[in-house]
Amino acid sequence: MSADAWWKNGIVYQIYPRSFQDSDGDGIGDLRGIRNRLDHLIELGVDAVWISPIYPSPMADFGYDISDYCDIDLRFGTLADFDALAAEARARGLKLVLDFVPNHTSDQHPWFMESRASRSNPKRDWYLWRDPAPDGGPPNNWLSNFGGPAWTFDAHTGQYYCHSFLKEQPDLNWRNPEVREAMYDVLRFWLRRGVDGFRIDVLYHLVKDDQFRDNPPNPDFVAGGDPAHRLLPVYTTDRPEMQDIIIEMRRVVDEFSDPQSTRVLIGELYLPLARLMAYYGRTEDGLLQGVQLPFNFQLLAAKWQAAEIDHIVRNYEAALPQGAAPNWVLGNHDKPRIASRVGQERARLAAMLLLSLRGTPTLYYGDEIGLTDVPIPPEEVQDPFEKNDPGKGLGRDPQRTPMQWSGTAPNAGFTTGTPWLRLGGDWEHRNVESQAGDPASMLALYRRLIALRRREPALHEGSHEPLDAGADVMAYARSAGTRRLVVLLNFGTSEKPISIDLVPAGGVVLASTHAHRSGIVAGALILEPLEGVIVSRA
């Protein structure tokens, strides 16, 4: 295997640590809990685990406001717990990816506490400070992604500081070389502890306009929508200087790569397709030097129609730079779950799509059992996004609820205490334990698809060829050497006959979203409503 096969050909599984498994009864998931559930990941068949932030934090934004980049929050455990988890994951063949949050710190981080101490403090320029506007208000019109201005006034020093998110999350000044070197040392700290890579939070936000110009109005903004989208973030995201920074980050992780395994950078980038491609970086000596996996989020907001998804896949494949590794995402901790977006039957189709497209798939914990968003009553809301703008439905609590392990243990086997968020009302039957023994379950489907992907080079490293199978059916071939597989996904609610030119008689159904279908195709293949199949040519 090549040194980069694990992230090019493997599957990444995201764990939101607060909600995966609690080991001590406080209602919050932790590192020992993750370690106790490694069997599930091995049985599922994933290759790498990405863990959302576990660093010390006041938890204003549940760990994305970091007060110490080089330690573990006591809610999640200790560095010793982390080392034990890393060692056991490594022994079981799992790679470990951590969240890296470089855009901002907590306002309780020692760096910011020094920075706000006085205008002459050596760390003053580590953050973005500006004088008030002539009327005493914010320096410009920049907006926080969590509502309101991106500026908060500090009475002690008489200036405003910038925060792209909560006021408790002041933005670092990435134009300052001392800041960049300090953050690269954070990467080195975790790489020395055996981490295999990083998912970089809001990577495209790091650099702001050096002239602090106002962002222009968004002509497509609709009244009543997310107020953060009222302006186009021309001067606050995706600045040209980012291209040099991603090369610097890549060089840091490359220091720790070896012939057996490269280290990987995964970038969180909500950008148009052309700009997303730029984050693969410039080509030097025949190799791309940027982020190996700029997250491809197009499926998160796509209309669930064959023509729409087919168009997305074709355009993405055509846009990839030479040598770039594709990737696909169906869900994460910030977006509604796939089963809530499209329903359980279509979520099965989505699983086959994700695990048969060319490129690295990322699974969000719980999607493998069909977890749905859980309505959270106003008095139980935890997410500051929702608290800052109540009633808009912007909160992310519904997709962060606890993993459902069992139908008999208290709280679905997640905790013996009171869970930090309520569980779904279906936990008694929608759980890992009950689905593990049901060949028709979502979990069984995921396991079959992952096992097929692992043993078929055509699926984990083969080429991609779009095919035409008629209305409502998305079709493509995956090929490696002489082995050619055809993937057929019926997005429609009626049966769809498939041309024998695509699937000749004698082809073998290797997988179907409908558990009862298998074996050799006799005559013309007819897809059932909302059925997906993977077929080998005769």
Backbone angles phi, psi at 83, to 5 degrees: -60, -40
- The whole-angstrom separation of Cα 328 and Cα 293 is 10
Q: How far lies 273's CA from each of 150, 296, 318, 505, in Å?
A: 26, 9, 11, 39
Distance of CA 249 to the CA centre of its chain: 19
| Residue 220 annotated as catalytic | no
Token pair listed for 267: 């970038």
- Bridging pattern class, strands 525-527 and 496-498: antiparallel
Residue type, 470: G
> Distances in Å between the alpha carbon of 340 and those of 329, 335, 358, 399, 442?
15, 10, 25, 9, 14
State whether residue 464 is helix, strand or coil.
strand
Which residue pairs from 74-78 have beta carbons closer than 8 angstroms and sit at least 24 positions apart in sequence?
75/26, 75/28, 75/30, 76/17, 76/28, 76/29, 76/30, 76/31, 77/30, 77/31, 77/32
Task: Specify the residue for token string 């509604």.
Answer: 336
SS3 of residue 309 by DSSP: helix
| Helices H / strands E in the chain, number of each | 15, 21
Tell me the one-letter amino acid at 384. P
Set 185, 255, 380, 495: catalytic member: 255
Question: In residues, how long is the chain?
Answer: 538
- With tokens 């968004």, the residue in question is 218
Whether residue 255 lies in the annotated active site: yes
> What separation, in Å, do the N-terminal and C-terminal C-alpha atoms of the chain show?
29
Structure tokens at 98: 């951590």
* Three-class SS state of 182: helix
User: Is 197 within 8 Å of 265 (Cβ atoms)?
Assistant: yes
Element (H, E) at 265: strand 264-267
Question: Could you give the C-alpha distances from 521 to 452, 508, 509, 510, in angstroms and in order?
Answer: 18, 6, 7, 11
Task: Using alpha carbons only, give the angle 468, 12, 146 rounded to the nearest 5 degrees.
Answer: 95
Residue 497 has φ and ψ, to the nearest 5°, of: -75, 140
Decide: helix, strand or coil at residue 342.
Answer: helix
CB atoms within 10 A of CB 234: 13
- Catalytic residue of the set 81, 107, 171, 201: 201
Residue positions annotated with a catalytic role? 201, 255
